[in-house]
């Protein structure tokens, strides 16, 4: 099915892009809330953002990414395959790190590290960078 952002873009790609930008904006809002020291609201917001982000990732990205794996070493032959492949690796690590951070901050206080401020900063920065990288993938494939 055709998307709504341009002619011929797949609907799932447009939905993934827009939903992750919305979630990214909410995450930045969640960071502002933390700066205002409203920590319970910050924790809830970041948990929602992280869990909802699994939806576009699982339904819009993992399947095409598994298709890239099946190409074997020829995945490195052209930008249209190697860029989404590498984005999948780095974005996957960012999403897993975000998920770990959410679990650590909300429900598993004894998990390392003891001082989690840098964990939160690094995971949010990598996660937001993944949105920028994913937008690059979108532009490369459909721009
Ligand atoms: C923080 C986590 C991630 C973010 C923010 C993110 C963001 C994005 C965005 C915005 C797009 C463009 C929309 C689209 O084409 O679907 C995209 C595309 C893509 N992503 Fe991700 N992504 C993340 C994680 C992953 C993971 C874990 C994988 C694979 C294991 C992956 C593989 C892909 C692939 C293959 C595409 C191109 C899809 C297509 O052919 O249309 N991404 N990503």
Ligand 1 site, residue 91, Cβ cutoff 6 A: yes
CA-wise closest residue to 124 among 104, 103, 102: 102
Residue to mutate, 134, 136, 138, 140, ligand 1, most ligand atoms under 8 Å from C-beta: 134
Looking only at Cα atoms, what is the longest distance across the chain?
50
Residue 116, CA atoms < 13 Å, CB-side half-sphere: 18
Ligand 1 site, residue 123, Cβ cutoff 6 A: no
Tens digits of per-residue pLDDT, 56-105?
999 999 999 999 999 999 999 999 999 999 999 999 999 999 999 999 99
pTM: 0.94
Q: Domain ranges for the chain, please list them.
A: 11-142
Ligand 1 site, residue 116, Cβ cutoff 6 A: no
Tens digits of per-residue pLDDT, 3-50?
999 878 999 999 999 999 999 999 999 999 999 999 999 999 999 999
> Three-state secondary structure along 48-78?
HHHHHHHHHHHHHHHHHHHHHHCCHHHHHHC
């Amino acid at each position: 099915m055709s998307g709504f952002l341009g002619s011929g873009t797949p609907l799932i790609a447009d939905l993934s892009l827009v939903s992750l930008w919305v979630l990214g904006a909410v995450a930045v809002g969640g960071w502002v809330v933390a700066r205002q020291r409203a920590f319970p609201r910050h924790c809830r917001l970041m948990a929602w953002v992280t869990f909802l982000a699994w939806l576009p990732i699982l339904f819009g990205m993992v399947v095409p990414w598994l298709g890239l794996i099946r190409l074997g070493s020829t995945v490195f032959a052209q930008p249209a395959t190697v860029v989404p492949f590498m984005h999948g690796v780095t974005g996957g690590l960012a999403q897993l790190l975000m998920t770990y951070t959410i679990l650590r901050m909300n429900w598993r206080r004894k998990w390392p590290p003891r001082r989690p401020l840098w964990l939160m900063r690094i995971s949010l920065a990598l996660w937001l960078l993944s949105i920028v990288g994913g937008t690059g993938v979108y532009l490369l494939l459909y721009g």
